[in-house]
Amino acid sequence: MTRFSANLGFLWTDRPLPDAIHAAHAAGFAAVECHWPYETPASDVRAALDATGLPMLGLNTVRGQVGENGLAALHGRETEARAAIDQAIAYADAVDAQAIHVMAGFAKGEAARDTFETNLTYATAQTDRTILIEPLNRHDAPGYFLETTGQAHEIMSRVDAPNLKLMFDCYHVGRTEGDVMTRLGDLLPLIGHIQFAAVPDRGAPDHGELNYTAIFGHISSLGWTAPLGAEFKPRDPDAPLRWMQSQSLLA
């Protein structure tokens, strides 16, 4: 049976993070993940995780200044990028988050690539936790440095760290590259986490261009057993609960 992780960057955002963790547990999610939890004391998050028994699968490094979307590929901003990595690792240690998504930011060119790889080398050396990188689609994040799974594969090959993995978001791959199921199979050895949402509106995966019944079945056939990240934008606060109930009926 496919298990799911509630991405609390999009789900139950009307509640404090500890309350959102409890809501995810009540809805039947097997894990949680988040974007930027830093305004919430780590002790409060850890208490909610302990009370519910849910693991925290991952969190992101901070975006940076207003209008930015990460720091790790920004040449000349290495000090800030590494402070963001250190901050994320410390928070992950406090809540026992399994992975840290190092956000690249808006940049292009060889200097950006070299900076990103140097910062990823730094990140992977600071922790045994998984370091994730995620290509973002050009429609939602035009100008983001990391755009495709092929580009991510090349960067991972050069950094060559065992704890550097790919965040495979079916939504982003579906919008930019297509052929999601083939890419999942081809890239499986590199993948550290899988996320999903409807294409093209990033809603619940009960509509849109991608057949998630088939995709979830394919992921299971590949031997993937970790929870899949539900990173979709709900139409209303009750949408995550209704979607999980529909999954229970299908199981």
pLDDT tens by residue, 76-127 = 999 999 999 999 999 999 999 999 999 999 999 999 999 999 999 999 999 9
Q: Which structural domain, as residue segments, surrounds residue 217?
A: 4-250
Task: State yes or no: pLDDT of 145 exceeds 70.
Answer: yes
What mean pLDDT is predicted for residues 134-141?
A: 97
Q: Total domain count for the chain? A: 1
Which member of 33, 117, 147, 231 is catalytic? 231
pTM assigned to the model: 0.96
What mean pLDDT is predicted for residues 198-218?
A: 95
Which member of 33, 117, 134, 147 is catalytic? 134
140 vs 237, residue with greater confidence: 140
List pLDDT tens digits, range 15-51.
Answer: 999 999 999 999 999 999 999 999 999 999 999 999 9
Residue 248's pLDDT band, with cuts at 50, 70 and 90, is low
Q: What's the CATH code of the domain at 156? A: 3.20.20.150
Supply the pLDDT for residue 234: 94
**134 included as an active-site residue:** yes
Supply the pLDDT for residue 47: 98
CB 21 within 8 A of CB 49: yes
Nearest to 98 by CA among 33, 39, 152: 33
**231 included as an active-site residue:** yes
What mean pLDDT is predicted for residues 62-70?
A: 95
